[in-house]
């Protein structure tokens, strides 16, 4: 179904690396900052162009913006904004994963690497994230390789447990 690994998503080789972005698309902390730093300044330049042309008010929660990957070991970066616990409907997390998978298949990609979207600063519980991803994979039945990349060992253990459940 999916391969769960611990590591830095910016070092993963996949056709697509998913960025847990903020609405501005202009970099930030956590996964977003790591991806922007590793990709190089061209990523920020492309995101600035997207803000001027397509996402003037920012990227809506659950939607996807596609850029080149520049210095990453990928073809594309898919930027998606997850929900903020206590502010947004957490079910929007599902949209992040579904829309990224659909876009990857539409573009003919063979592999995609996801972080645990919204589990850092945005406060979504890791077990909720893992259950959401598992449900999406079961419902969508993607035909591409799925990598779930968890930076923290404790988060990986939670994902491992959830994916073992029937």
Which residues have a catalytic role annotated? 32
Distance, first Cα to last Cα, the chain: 13
Rg (CA), the chain: 14
63: phi > 0 → left, psi -120 to 50 → alpha, else beta; which?
beta
CA dist 26 and 23 (Å) reads 8
Nearest to 14 by CA among 144, 164, 151, 156: 144
CA dist 83 and 48 (Å) reads 22
Which residues make beta-bridge pairs with 80?
A: 20, 64
């Amino acid at each position: 179904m999916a391969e769960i690994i611990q590591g830095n998503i910016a070092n993963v080789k996949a056709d697509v690396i998913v960025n847990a972005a903020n609405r501005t698309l202009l970099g930030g902390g956590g996964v977003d900052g790591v991806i922007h730093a590793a990709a190089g300044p061209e990523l920020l330049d492309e995101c600035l162009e997207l803000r001027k042309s397509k996402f003037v008010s920012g990227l809506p929660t659950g939607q996807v913006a596609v850029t080149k990957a520049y210095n990453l070991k990928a073809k594309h970066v898919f930027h998606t904004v997850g929900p903020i616990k206590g502010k947004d409907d957490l079910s929007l997390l599902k949209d992040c994963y579904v829309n990224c998978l659909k876009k990857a298949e539409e573009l003919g990609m063979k592999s995609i690497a996801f972080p645990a979207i919204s589990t850092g600063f945005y406060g979504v519980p890791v077990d909720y994230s893992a259950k959401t991803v598992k449900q999406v994979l079961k419902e969508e039945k993607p035909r591409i390789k799925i990598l779930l990349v968890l930076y923290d060992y404790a988060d990986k253990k939670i994902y491992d447990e959830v994916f073992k459940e029937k």
